[in-house]
Structure 1
């Protein structure tokens, strides 16, 4: 049964949370840094101990964050002015007497500007069993990674496709004037509605499959965390399974999304793709694209099929050692073997409806660790791609400079005449930390990129010093400069 929270119910619950300080700052203050960090690692004992001295806020922390049981009297006091009878009736609480527990996961979630509350279903640990088919996932690592990868520039309209608990739309409310959120699952829409009303955010909710709820509409930005788990065509859990085989769900979103963007509009999503024996993954995902779309596919990880299956079984609360777990794993692995799947790629896709005949399509690995969010880099990447399209025939006349965040690293090895440089590597020290190996001529060329001389003059000087002609050097220098510009390692002065 889907929860039905009235506007009055949400207002009273919000008042209780505000009164007790049940928000991101309040929880951190009550628990302290060590206990809060331990809770993030899945180690709750320190948080249980710290919450004992936090009064009514401690009651809410144990109830909603720690999965503990509380007395009805303590819960009544903590939730006032919301009557506990209403909370039980709505499914917010379960149990009775001295064994009152949370019926839903309601937890603070915030950014640098403030805090919200996100409503979702209890996970398998809290339930003590496998999650149901219509389980609505909480704010997990995938959701947070998309939050960090999303461009946060002001837009008039934004679509959150497959909203789930609504967390993407919460963040989008910071920079979008009008929000629309869709989902196929009635339960997801019900919980997202609670999330939005609890946080007093106006979002248009529409139910339906994929883009059907917004047919013939266009948006300035679309974000999507689709059910991208790959495998046989089935739906065990609506939050992760699309009913489409393999990576067809990701392909469908990439293929159809640009048609729902205004010209120049941007779409961003998480996606998975198969690594098939004898096939390049970049060629595979590039075939998904419609014409006239700039696309940046960033591969963050490649999972082994066996590890992939075990991870998703445990995610649903299924023990891979159980008869059910072995049966599901066997069918999954048989499908991978039949399709010659060697690995499952996972990453981010940024699309822009450019309506041009020469769109830029780049598929690249970004599997190194980095701390900066990818969203600003994605926006800058699109800017740089647009600049290259507008000035691509003028690169030789352009004055370039190397930003101060780009460093040159050398690896020297012993040689016959002392140390000899074997590797020259450009390293961007901010953002994703891009790296490019260069040769001696490229090093000399980039040393001259200080904004004083156009590229053509630098090539003339280089040819004079090292031999050859400027035209010959340009054949390799111009493609290199293009790639370095795309990665923000060289910029027009």
Structure 2
């Protein structure tokens, strides 16, 4: 078990001295080689790191996993003593037929910038560096899943945060920038050891507790909960602790979504990275919504992707360093897919669940967000909850609205059989954030055209439409309320008082 605490102060001093930070690494490698390294292609980064001095040595050592001579590493790591680096499990001895006796890293130690300056993370080595089947107790670093959760977490200042299943501590290190006190939990002793090293490297005082799920914080509540649980959907077994929960199918995601509200203060929020199964003949939205109690929770569930069972199984087998074409890989794939067949699984959804504890009847919105967009979801989650709170406490028909800046109206027509153009869709686009799209009609477009600050309330705008278009009042009112509710939730239309 690695224990880097005796050398973290010296290691931090080394990184500051050499400039082993996110910006300097990018500058040394260049954008193309840096991107290639992120794809697991080491050669471009290895070439770029040549001649990079001690920074180049650290890049080749920690980011590329290359062996190096003891004298070269000792110079680059100063003031860390090479013997101490070996004794604590940071490095290991290595013999190369060309280089001779030397050392190589036993851990992945990398800089990242999540918007508040460079932080360092300590984790186990990625399988791309030294291909092998992933160990049961493997502790991953900043992968795509943890990076996506990091971008989905609101960063408004809070008092207390719980990082459930902290792993190497990536989320704990991230949220420490906006929280007064952070608590991280994990069942894995190895994960906690690496999380301690990550926190110490960044001079962060994070409370780390060992235990299963919410047990280490029983009876405690927090302003914010973040969770990247072992959400992989499959049979009830544990082959890799970072991804397998031992619960059947999507049981891990269900457990966290159900349990998180009990550990939130009133008004507190939770952000959970989750997966859920799509069952034949059932709506996935109803399944996930059933995890939310009927009272006391606002829930916003966005599905970012859906995978078919074969693609899903193959992806996770390769993630564990197992070739699906091998005999062992084929056997595991067969078992996994047969379990899906027996359970009626036709797809696996993946996305984020944002929760807020309230004293009101629960409001649950589950929706697809599978198109591409650049902005992080964290700020959008808080904005969504604020708009939802406004909707809960106001009468839409008596309120005045404005069209949000950046909202665009698109009309799509196709060639008509008799000549000319036939309009087939009227669509509203939001120009920022998640880039939501809403289909409407000419009446909806006319309604929005009348919205302006200091203008008429919604009910009076509908009355004008009734006169102008000779439409039934009740149908217009119901349609307008439904349309505006959805547009406000998604930020295409805003209450005039919030604009």
Q: Which category of TM-score, normalised to the shorter sequence, fits these structures? A: over 0.9
Cα distance between partner residues in 1 of 2:253 and 2:114: 28
- Asked if 1:198 is matched to 2:196, the reply is no
Residue 398 of structure 2 is matched in structure 1 by 397
Residue 68 of structure 2 is matched in structure 1 by 70
Cα distance between partner residues in 1 of 2:174 and 2:141: 15
Q: Structure 1 residue 414: deviation in Å?
A: 2.7
- Asked if 1:297 is matched to 2:290, the reply is no
Cα distance between partner residues in 1 of 2:40 and 2:495: 47
Q: Could you tell me which of 161, 164, 167 is aligned with 1:161?
A: 164
Q: Structure 1 residue 113: deviation in Å?
A: 2.5
Q: Residues 236 and 248 of structure 2 are in contact (CA less than 8 Å); yes or no, is this contact kept in structure 1?
A: yes
Residue 439 of structure 1 is matched in structure 2 by 441
Q: Structure 1 residue 469: deviation in Å?
A: 4.3
- Asked if 1:12 is matched to 2:14, the reply is no
Q: Could you tell me which of 43, 59, 62 is aligned with 1:61?
A: 59
Q: Residues 460 and 469 of structure 1 are in contact (CA less than 8 Å); yes or no, is this contact kept in structure 2?
A: no
Residue 329 of structure 1 is matched in structure 2 by 333
- The alignment's C-alpha RMSD in Å is 1.2
Q: 1:417 to 1:199 in 2, by over 3 A?
A: same
Cα distance between partner residues in 1 of 2:469 and 2:300: 36
Cα distance between partner residues in 1 of 2:84 and 2:309: 46
Q: Structure 1 residue 439: deviation in Å?
A: 1.1
Q: Residues 230 and 247 of structure 1 are in contact (CA less than 8 Å); yes or no, is this contact kept in structure 2?
A: yes
Consecutive unaligned residues of structure 2, counting only runs of 5 or more, are 95-99
Cα distance between partner residues in 2 of 1:429 and 1:157: 34
Cα distance between partner residues in 2 of 1:265 and 1:143: 21
Q: Residues 410 and 423 of structure 1 are in contact (CA less than 8 Å); yes or no, is this contact kept in structure 2?
A: yes
1:412 counterpart SS class: strand
1:450 counterpart SS class: coil
Q: Residues 436 and 490 of structure 2 are in contact (CA less than 8 Å); yes or no, is this contact kept in structure 1?
A: yes
What is the CA deviation profile of residues 331-365 of structure 1, one whole-angstrom value per residue up to 9, with x for unaligned ones?
A: 101100110100000000000111212x2100000
| Aligned ranges 1:219-368 → 2 under 5 Å | 219-290=222-293, 291-357=295-361, 359-368=362-371
Q: Structure 1 residue 485: deviation in Å?
A: 0.7
TM-score by length of 1: 0.97
Residue 97 of structure 2 is matched in structure 1 by none
Cα distance between partner residues in 2 of 1:475 and 1:13: 64
Q: Structure 1 residue 381: deviation in Å?
A: 0.6
- Asked if 1:484 is matched to 2:487, the reply is yes
Residue 191 of structure 2 is matched in structure 1 by 188
What is the CA deviation profile of residues 395-426 of structure 1, one whole-angstrom value per residue up to 9, with x for unaligned ones?
A: 11111111121100011223346323221000
TM-score by length of 2: 0.96
What is the CA deviation profile of residues 318-339 of structure 1, one whole-angstrom value per residue up to 9, with x for unaligned ones?
A: 1111111111111101100110
2:129 counterpart SS class: helix
Q: Structure 1 residue 209: deviation in Å?
A: 0.2
Residue 461 of structure 1 is matched in structure 2 by 464
Residue 135 of structure 1 is matched in structure 2 by 138
Q: Residues 181 and 204 of structure 1 are in contact (CA less than 8 Å); yes or no, is this contact kept in structure 2?
A: yes
What is the CA deviation profile of residues 355-400 of structure 1, one whole-angstrom value per residue up to 9, with x for unaligned ones?
A: 212x210000000011111111111110011100011xx2111111
Residue 408 of structure 2 is matched in structure 1 by 407
Residue 386 of structure 1 is matched in structure 2 by 389
1:453 counterpart SS class: coil
What is the CA deviation profile of residues 275-319 of structure 1, one whole-angstrom value per residue up to 9, with x for unaligned ones?
A: 001111001011111232100110000111011111111111111
What is the CA deviation profile of residues 223-281 of structure 1, one whole-angstrom value per residue up to 9, with x for unaligned ones?
A: 00000001100000000000101101100001111000000100011000000011110
Q: Could you tell me which of 450, 453, 457 is aligned with 2:452?
A: 450
Q: Residues 4 and 89 of structure 2 are in contact (CA less than 8 Å); yes or no, is this contact kept in structure 1?
A: no
Residue 420 of structure 1 is matched in structure 2 by 422
Cα distance between partner residues in 2 of 1:33 and 1:347: 29
Residue 117 of structure 1 is matched in structure 2 by 120
Q: Residues 24 and 108 of structure 1 are in contact (CA less than 8 Å); yes or no, is this contact kept in structure 2?
A: yes
Q: Could you tell me which of 20, 23, 33 is aligned with 1:22?
A: 20
Cα distance between partner residues in 1 of 2:82 and 2:21: 20
Cα distance between partner residues in 2 of 1:3 and 1:200: 19
1:124 counterpart SS class: coil
2:298 counterpart SS class: strand
Q: Residues 40 and 129 of structure 2 are in contact (CA less than 8 Å); yes or no, is this contact kept in structure 1?
A: no
Residue 90 of structure 2 is matched in structure 1 by 92
Consecutive unaligned residues of structure 1, counting only runs of 5 or more, are none
What is the CA deviation profile of residues 208-234 of structure 1, one whole-angstrom value per residue up to 9, with x for unaligned ones?
A: 000000000000000000000011000
1:378 counterpart SS class: helix
1:266 counterpart SS class: strand
Cα distance between partner residues in 1 of 2:396 and 2:419: 39
Q: Residues 370 and 433 of structure 1 are in contact (CA less than 8 Å); yes or no, is this contact kept in structure 2?
A: yes
Cα distance between partner residues in 1 of 2:337 and 2:414: 46
1:95 counterpart SS class: strand
